[in-house]
Structure 1
Amino acid sequence: MKKSESVSVNGKNIYYESYGEGSPLIFLHGYSLSSKSWRPFVADFEKDYTVYLVDLTGHGQSDPFKEDLSIASVGEDVTALIDYLGLDKVKAIGFSFGGDVLYQVAMQKPDLIEAMITIGAVGTWTVEDFPQYHEGFKIENKANFPWLESSHKSDAQIKGIMDQFKNYIVSISNEELQQIKPEVMIIMGDDDEGMDFAEVARVKKNIPNSDVWILPDVSHSAHEGEYKEEFVTKAKRFLSKDR
């Protein structure tokens, strides 16, 4: 590890770790995960980039939620962290919640992101459409989600993450998508029940520079498991393109 610290932005402490040397590459994790989930990928990218792993608002070693979850607000925290780091241009990879946050960052500060990859995210999602998730993801069922204990620093933080899941609602209009400047690679598994193919098609149609990669027989974590090596290869090729 090159560096780690907690930074005060927008009235809360946000934790990050950095590795390697080169142009900045930001990794954002899924909801209820932490930056630890991206550590297995550091070795694949740190020779070409300064890799930043961020604990998003309410997660990991960042402060617990102090207010209701807002994807736009989490995006503002990420933008503020990047400003603190003195980075004028970044590339970024976001999984699920992290991908939703990246779309917000791309709208909030249009010239900040040069290129970005989202996995299992298209910037519009609501827990209200998935009552089975909402009902199951509660503190009394914490034992069913073993990664929670290893990802977060306190039971209060875990409770906050589970309590705030009901507020996971984000929507991006066609007009907003059309204003997104970075080139975007949208990655999804064809068995991801949280991803609507019609919504993916809408996003692809409206983001000026976008590609879609759909992996067969894979659910939400399309970048892990059997496709990890291929994901790394494609991601590196995409991010290294001259723009």
Structure 2
Amino acid sequence: MSTTILSQTSKISETVLINGKTLYYEVYGEGKPLFLLHGYTQSSKSWKSYIKDYEKEYEVYLIDLTGHGKSEPFKEDLSIKAVSEDLNSLIKHLQLEKIKAIGFSFGGDVLYQLALINPSIIESMITIGAVGTWTINDFPEYLKAFTFENRNNFPWLKTSHDGDEHIKAMMYQFKNYTIKLSDKELQSIQPEVLIMIGDDDEGMDLEEVIRVKKNLPKSDLWILPNVSHGAHEGENKNNFILKSKAFLSKK
């Protein structure tokens, strides 16, 4: 089955020049645009097995976010806001007026920034293991483990990116991963948001999750017991698909 999924043919796959750098994306299916955004050091390949679940109802966009996958390596210091600005420019390039979106981890943080940059572009969004505020400074052990020298400990790196230049740049830029949403910024976010968190996600502070839920005008919180960072994966996948489709179909 996995071979069939991975060999599925996109109706569009191209690299485009956006804000002076190349970004890669693929499109599948028919319907309203649905963007699926990957985590840091992943690529759009991490969403490939989900295409069949959404493509009959949505036009599914898989994006290699700035510095990842088939998009060109980082040229500048990592900025979540800058990555979101690149995504916003890509959406404008694609001439899309509204999107729905799901973002995992880094992809979720990017979505919160996109909602601030372009308040009307997102109809509804799901964030997994992300609440828009996170800093590597709170997790020095991550920085110590997540290095280019240790790349073989993270098997997805080799299959997700075009060579060591990409991997080296991402690992180096991890030290700049920091983003903060104020209460006022959260209160200004317009789309309806489903916040999905595993209660064993060591990277998520539950007090911060509560602050975000309290300040987001239209939000639902889904905390999964005994689940870590990739709360949409593995044995949770089927339940995630059902709940995500029900949430995204509202309006």
**TM-score, with structure 1 as normaliser:** 0.99
Instruction: Give distance in 2, aligned partners of 1:154 and 1:58.
Output: 12
Percent identical pairs in the alignment equals: 64
Of the three residues 138, 155, 168, the one matched with 1:129 is: 138
Of the three residues 145, 149, 167, the one matched with 1:140 is: 149
Identify the residue that residue 102 of structure 1 maps to in structure 2. Answer: 111
Identify the residue that residue 93 of structure 2 maps to in structure 1. Answer: 84
For 1:103, give the aligned amino acid: Y
Identify the residue that residue 205 of structure 1 maps to in structure 2. Answer: 214
Give the deviation of 1:221 after TM superposition.
0.1
Give the deviation of 1:2 after TM superposition.
1.1
Identify the residue that residue 21 of structure 1 maps to in structure 2. Answer: 30
Of the three residues 172, 186, 189, the one matched with 2:195 is: 186
Instruction: Give distance in 2, aligned partners of 1:14 and 1:172.
Output: 26
For 2:111, give the aligned amino acid: L
Identify the residue that residue 115 of structure 1 maps to in structure 2. Answer: 124
Instruction: Give distance in 1, aligned partners of 2:227 and 2:26.
Output: 29
1:54 aligns with 2:63: yes
1:174 aligns with 2:190: no
Give the deviation of 1:7 after TM superposition.
1.0
Q: Extract unaligned runs of 5+ from structure 2.
A: 1-9
Identify the residue that residue 20 of structure 2 maps to in structure 1. Answer: 11
Of the three residues 71, 76, 92, the one matched with 1:67 is: 76
Give the deviation of 1:154 after TM superposition.
1.4
Give the deviation of 1:55 after TM superposition.
0.2
Give the deviation of 1:172 after TM superposition.
0.5
Instruction: Give distance in 1, aligned partners of 2:148 and 2:231.
Output: 27
Q: What secondary structure, in the 3-state scheme, does the structure 2 residue paired with 1:58 have?
A: coil
For 1:59, give the aligned amino acid: H
Instruction: Give distance in 2, aligned partners of 1:141 and 1:98.
Output: 23
Instruction: Give distance in 1, aligned partners of 2:216 and 2:16.
Output: 32
Give the deviation of 1:15 after TM superposition.
0.3
After the TM superposition, which segments of 4 or more aligned residues of structure 1 sit over 2 Å from their partners? none
Q: Extract unaligned runs of 5+ from structure 1.
A: none
Of the three residues 213, 233, 239, the one matched with 2:242 is: 233
Give the deviation of 1:185 after TM superposition.
0.1
Q: What secondary structure, in the 3-state scheme, does the structure 1 residue paired with 2:246 have?
A: helix
Deviations 1:208-232 (A, max 9, x none): 0000000111100000011100000
Instruction: Give distance in 2, aligned partners of 1:141 and 1:13.
Output: 27
Identify the residue that residue 164 of structure 1 maps to in structure 2. Answer: 173
For 1:88, give the aligned amino acid: E
RMSD between aligned residues: 0.4
When the two structures are aligned, how many residues end up with a matched partner?
242
Deviations 1:13-69 (A, max 9, x none): 000000000000001000000000000100000000000000000000001000000
Instruction: Give distance in 1, aligned partners of 2:153 and 2:193.
Output: 34
